[in-house]
Chain A
Amino acid sequence: MINLFYIAALVAIIATVLAITRHHAVHALLYLIVSLLAVALVFFTLGAPFVAALEVIIYAGAILVLFLFVMMMLNLGQDAKEQEREWQPLRIWIGPALLSCILLALIIHAIMGEGSASVVTEEVGPKAVGSLLFGPYMIAAELGAFLLMAGVVGASHLRRREFQSEITGKEES
Chain B
Amino acid sequence: MSAVPINHVLILAAILFSVGLTGVLARRNIIFMLVSVEVMLNAAGLAFVAAGARWQQADGQVMFLFILTMASAEVAVGLALILHLHWRRLSLDSDTLNKMKG
* Interface of B: prevailing SS: helix
Given A63-B71, A97-B22, A50-B61 contact (CB < 8 Å): yes
The answer on a CB contact under 8 Å between B59 and A84 is no
In the assembled complex, the Cα of A129 lies from the Cα of B58 at a distance in Å of 5
- Give every chain B residue within 8 A of A93 (Cβ-Cβ): 22, 26
Minimum CB–CB distance for A130 against chain B, Å = 9
Interface centre among B8, B32, B42, B83 (most CB of A within 10 A): B32
A167 at the interface (CB under 8 A from B): no
The answer on a CB contact under 8 Å between B15 and A111 is no
Interface centre among A5, A39, A97 (most CB of B within 10 A): A39
- Give every chain B residue within 8 A of A122 (Cβ-Cβ): 1, 56
Q: How many residues of A contact B (CB 8 A)?
A: 82
Q: How many residues of B contact A (CB 8 A)?
A: 70
A-B contact count (CB 8 A): 226
Beyond A36-B42, A54-B64, A99-B25, 10 additional contacts (C-beta under 8 Å) are: A13-B19, A39-B16, A43-B46, A48-B60, A66-B75, A70-B79, A92-B26, A118-B3, A122-B56, A151-B72
B6 at the interface (CB under 8 A from A): yes
Nearest residue, chain B, Cβ from A36: B42
The answer on a CB contact under 8 Å between A133 and B62 is yes
In the assembled complex, the Cα of A162 lies from the Cα of B82 at a distance in Å of 14
- Give every chain B residue within 8 A of A50 (Cβ-Cβ): 61
Minimum CB–CB distance for B1 against chain A, Å = 5
